[in-house]
C-alpha cells in the first residue's frame, strides 16, 4: 500500500469515528439523506481525494461523513477498505456480537425508512 493510501486510511479511521459521535443522535432519515448527498460529492470529486486537487478537503470530509452516517443506519455497521465502523461503541469487527436490529424503529421510537440499495447516478459531464 502506498504511503498516501495509508495516510488516507489512518485519517479516515479517526475522522469517521469522530463523525459517528457527532451524528449519533440524528434520526435515521436524516442520516440516510446525509449519506446520499455526501456520496454524490465523493462521486464527483473522488479523483481530487486520490490525486490531490481543489476539492480534496471537502471530498475527504464528505467521505468521512457519509461513512459515519452509513455506519449508524446499517445494522452491524460498515466496512470500507478493511476498516470497520459501527453504531455499537468499541466494535471493531463486523462479525462481532451485535445487538439485534431495532426492526422498524430507531432508538427514539420513530419508524426507520426502508431503502433499497441503489446506484449513484453519474451526471453526463462525468461521462
Q: What is the pLDDT of residues 28-68, one digit of tens each?
A: 889 989 988 998 889 999 888 888 888 889 999 999 999 99
**Is 126 inside any structural domain?**
no
**Do residues 85 and 4 lie in contact, with contact meaning Cβ atoms separated by under 8 Å?**
no
Instruction: Report the number of distinct structural domains present in the chain.
Output: 1
Record the pTM: 0.71
Residue 108, domain extent: 3-114
Cβ-proximal residues to 17 (8 Å cutoff; 6+ apart), any chain:
68, 85
**Is 125 inside any structural domain?**
no
**Is 12 inside any structural domain?**
yes
pLDDT band for position 127 (cuts 50, 70, 90)? very low
**Is 14 inside any structural domain?**
yes
Amino acid at each position: 500500500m502506498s504511503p498516501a493510501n495509508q495516510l488516507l486510511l489512518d485519517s479516515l479511521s479517526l475522522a469517521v469515528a469522530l463523525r459517528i459521535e457527532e451524528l449519533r443522535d440524528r434520526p435515521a432519515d436524516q442520516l440516510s439523506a446525509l449519506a446520499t448527498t455526501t456520496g454524490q460529492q465523493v462521486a464527483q470529486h473522488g479523483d481530487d481525494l486520490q490525486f490531490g486537487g481543489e476539492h480534496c478537503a471537502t471530498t475527504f470530509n464528505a467521505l468521512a461523513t457519509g461513512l459515519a452516517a452509513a455506519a449508524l443506519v446499517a445494522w452491524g455497521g460498515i466496512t470500507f477498505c478493511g476498516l470497520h465502523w459501527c453504531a455499537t461503541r468499541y466494535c471493531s469487527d463486523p462479525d462481532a456480537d451485535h445487538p439485534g436490529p431495532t426492526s422498524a424503529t430507531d432508538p427514539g421510537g420513530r419508524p426507520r425508512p426502508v431503502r433499497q440499495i441503489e446506484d449513484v447516478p453519474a451526471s453526463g459531464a462525468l461521462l
